[in-house]
Amino acid sequence: MLVFNVTFRCKPGMRDEFLRQIKAEGIDGAARAEAGNRAYDFYIPADGGDELFLVEKYADADAVTAHVRQAHTARLVELKEAYVRDLVLEKYEA
């Protein structure tokens, strides 16, 4: 299994709107419905300020490849441009 921890460092005051857009457009649900997806969950850190944390889990590399080709993933990238100043991506094999 491949696990990705993504910390989105949002532009000041934009975290809640970023998450609202993700939910409103069904991006999280669409990712969870993908074959090979094991988890796609957003969290607001207790002391995160403008940060949003995402845990993604996939069965294998093929599932990750399929994920990055999805329209909803492209839409998340577009939203990221509007709401996020930078991010930290960690990848693990479990």
Q: How many helices (H) and strands (E) does the chain have?
A: 4, 4
Task: Look over the chain and give the mean of its residue pLDDT values, rounded to a whole number.
Answer: 97
Sorted by where each begins, the domain ranges of the chain are: 2-93
DSSP letter at 20? H
Q: CATH number of the domain at 2-93, out of 3.40.640.10, 3.30.2290.10, 3.40.50.2300, 3.30.70.100?
A: 3.30.70.100
Mean pLDDT of 52-80: 98
Mean pLDDT of 30-55: 95
Q: Check whether 47 has a pLDDT greater than 90.
A: no
Q: Which residues contact 49 (CB under 8 A, 6 or more apart)?
A: 15
Question: Cα separation of 5 and 59, whole Å?
Answer: 15
- Give the count of beta carbons closer than 10 Å to the beta carbon of residue 3: 15
- Give the count of beta carbons closer than 10 Å to the beta carbon of residue 55: 14
Query: pTM of the entire structure?
Result: 0.94
